[in-house]
Amino acid sequence: MPLKVAILGFGTVGASAARILAEQKVPGLTLTHVYNRNVARKRVDWLPSVIWTEDLESVLTSDADVIVELMGGLHPAHDCVRRTLQAGKSVVTANKKLIALHGVELESIARHKGGHLLYGAAVAGGIPVIPGLQHGLAGDRVTRMEGILNGTSNFILSRMEKGGEYADELAEAQRRGYAEADPTEDVDGFDARSKLVILARLALGVDVSPEEIACQSIRQVGAIDFAYAKDLNCTIRPVARADLRNGKLVALVAPMLVPFSSPLAWSRGTENMVLMTGQYGGDVVFSGHGAGGNPTAVAVVSDLCALAAGTAPRAGEAVPASVTGEFELRHYVRFVVKDRPGIVAEIAGAMAAQGINIDSLFQRSGFGKDSLPFVVTTEPCVNSRLRLALARMQNTDWQAELPLDLQVLEPEPTIVA
């Protein structure tokens, strides 16, 4: 018998998933219920045989075999998913925040009750990163991953690469519907952090809380930084990165200088990209459109197809791990100063006091003496040491703006124990 499917949430993704099921007539799947608040305004004539309801309880207690949770957020999504799994049924969801925070608990319920919890759409939308991990890379041991996991931030930064400023490109992202009115989750790194937690759990087998991973916003990046980055044969991208070394997870989410030779530098607009490094297979790249109703719906329906075919995977158990962001990388530090003699000497002195060596200094012409931007790059140094050096300079009379510190992406950073 076909699996009976109920969709909770008929927004952009829910409507796209329903349309795919209706138009493709996917074997083994029958859409039976659609739940949404104020459901009358959501009803469509191309789903004539579906039960439309705004009574959530009636769906959870119905004869549906699979609940597709596309409401988002934690409440009531967490309760709905937990109850469904406890009843021995399966759940498909695109809810990254739910899986990042409660995935281990929900996976455990699914294993013990005989259902499945699938969330291929929770990371990178329609790009099959999670199925690729669970099937294509199951025979390898992933040791490192890095990627662009937020299309909004990538859209803003890749447009700034052409000369735009942050505020203008954020407004354009909002105009196009890529960014919310409150863009905090995207531009401050929290969205990418949730996705990184999920990937770390699946790829590296470690369970960590999102709050343990440090995030750096893209808000302070300016067009001038792309000009200086180009001088260093780099661009700037919003990078999420995780390494597993000696049982410790080294992770961060931050805008970083990315060498032009890196595949991450090729990603533009709302594209997502994930690089996985395996002990035996080496590097594997996943790339494509990571956002939007149709790509995300494809991932949702693909999970449903796996359930119908009996090929749905189960995530392995993850173990708790300590998290650190302390590893040695080169740094790019952009100062904006009220020019006077002795500034470079003060910067060098503050860095030397922390054992940090300056590698190079860049200063472009054409700027006034009261707001002069220039860049110092360092040799590889520990993050916390550089923060101490910058804090020592915080109250100087020559700083017109707070300095911008960006790390430079390296293939194998030295991790500090």
Residue 34 is given by DSSP the state: E
Contact between 161 and 304 (Cβ < 8 Å): no
96 carries an active-site annotation = no
CB count, 10 Å around CB of 347? 24
3-state DSSP call for residue 352?
helix
Contact between 277 and 302 (Cβ < 8 Å): no
CB count, 10 Å around CB of 145? 27
Cis peptide before 76 (omega within 30 of 0): yes
CA distance 3 to 32: 10
* Residue 345, token pair as written in the block: 């000497």
Contact between 375 and 334 (Cβ < 8 Å): yes
Nearest to 404 by CA among 211, 226, 251: 226
Concatenated DSSP letters of 264-310: GGG--TTEEEEEEEETTTEEEEEEEE--SHHHHHHHHHHHHHHHHHT
* Residue 368, token pair as written in the block: 């006034």
Catalytic residue among 195, 230, 338, 369: 195
CA distance 270 to 88: 37
Cα three-residue angle 151-282-240, rounded to 5 degrees? 25
CA distance 359 to 380: 9
- Alpha-carbon torsion 30, 36, 39, 43, what sign? negative
Q: Which residues are catalytic?
A: 195
